Amino acid sequence: MNSSAPGRLPYPPVEPYASGHLEVDELHRIYWETSGNPQGVPVLFLHGGPGAGCMPAHRQFFDPAHFRIILFDQRGAGRSLPKAEIGANTTAHLVADMERLREFLGVEQWLLFGGSWGSTLALAYGQAHARRCLGFVLRGIFLGTTDEIRWFLHDMKMLHPEAWRGFCEFLPEVERGDLLTAYRSRLNSENAGVHEPAARSWARYEARASTLLPNPELVGGMEHDALALARIEAHYLAHSLFLAEGQLLRGMGAIRDLPAIIVQGRYDMVCPIAAADELARAWPEAYYEVVPDAGHSAFEPGTLRALAGAVEAFKQLLPLAAEAQQDLPQKAKRSRRRGTPKSQPDADKPADDGKTAHPRSGAAGSENPSAREAGKSRRRGARKKSKDAAAKADTPVPQEI
């Protein structure tokens, strides 16, 4: 399987029924939107980057008949204003924005779904506001440590030397001793002739390392309009994500009793698996799945399947209220595509595709060949049943970090 090709999203496109901008301080107005079932289980999507912004495809991870799907663009990202603004833009600001958005939308508690930087922000928010969280679906774990930042800026050259060389050689030789400072000086310039080429170089570097196999479409997509991603990401990296070293692991006691599913690509080069492994060991109650044939992108086929299974598991754990179900038209009540998994495997049983549940049935994230064969058999039947429905929903999928 070509894992660089986008997989199929679990649900067809859905349009927001409400959207707007929320003023969070004198400088920033964050874009928000809601789609799906207005009376459904609230789920908040946290995009990556920081600075990447949300896309319409992000709504398609969730059953619109079951969930009230909430997307927002973080400060300076996507459709939030002012665009690419790094002033008053820290992790603490984003956590506070999430709380303000929750109150504005009248949400008591919500499920958090975040990948890459979105996983970092989900953990930071959860540890600050645990009683507002129903649970977590986390992908491509990033804990904001010194080792992870050094890996991205320097050590990734061990496995992606061509991409790193292009990233480095964009700068004059005299400035290559401090890549982050040199890039920030360009990215923060008001001159478009200076910041735009630097932003494209930064985004190209990240995109080339984001999939297991090369994906030119992803590279081209991330290079387009790359300033917010590159400028805000460099700003956060320069300040160690505005987190103390080891802060998120030390704070796990606040959320360990909440349900969580962690999905990690084995060959994720942007957010290496060591961070997910650390988080899983600090959170033994969480279900931890390693996707054996995936890199960093959420849209690689194996990762998409794992995320779809995770969301379906939370559908079982967080049932729709009877009054919300009664308000739905009949067609919406049957909107779950045939062939999507109904729940995540029990923690004491081998998971489909040969992944073992963490931590009771073996080493965290290990792969079980006999279980893999059984999983293949079950999936063949599921794929056959869902073939017609899938064809209707098989629309081009954008990529993200």
Would you please indicate which residues are annotated as catalytic (active-site) residues?
A: 116, 268, 296
Token reading at 318: 């967080």
Identify any residues that bridge with 41 across adjacent strands, giving them in sequence order.
Answer: 67
Asked, as a colleague might, if the bond just before 359 is cis with ω within 30 of 0, I would say yes
Identity of residue 142:
F
Q: How far apart are CA 115 and CA 108, in angstroms?
A: 23
Cβ neighbours of 287 (radius 10 Å): 24
Q: How far apart are CA 364 and CA 356, in angstroms?
A: 7
- Please choose, from the candidates 322, 324, 314, the residue with its C-alpha nearest in 3D space to the C-alpha of residue 38: 324
Identity of residue 333:
K
Identity of residue 10:
P
* Sign, Cα dihedral of 226, 228, 229, 235: positive
Token reading at 4: 């660089």
Q: Are 159 and 269 in contact (CB under 8 A)?
A: yes
Q: Are 44 and 70 in contact (CB under 8 A)?
A: yes
Q: How far apart are CA 282 and CA 251, in angstroms?
A: 10
Q: Are 308 and 10 in contact (CB under 8 A)?
A: yes
3-state secondary structure of 376: helix
Q: How far apart are CA 219 and CA 207, in angstroms?
A: 5
Q: Are 386 and 342 in contact (CB under 8 A)?
A: no
Between the CA of residue 214 and those of 157, 186, 202, 322, what are the distances in Å? Answer: 16, 28, 17, 47
Asked, as a colleague might, if the bond just before 50 is cis with ω within 30 of 0, I would say yes
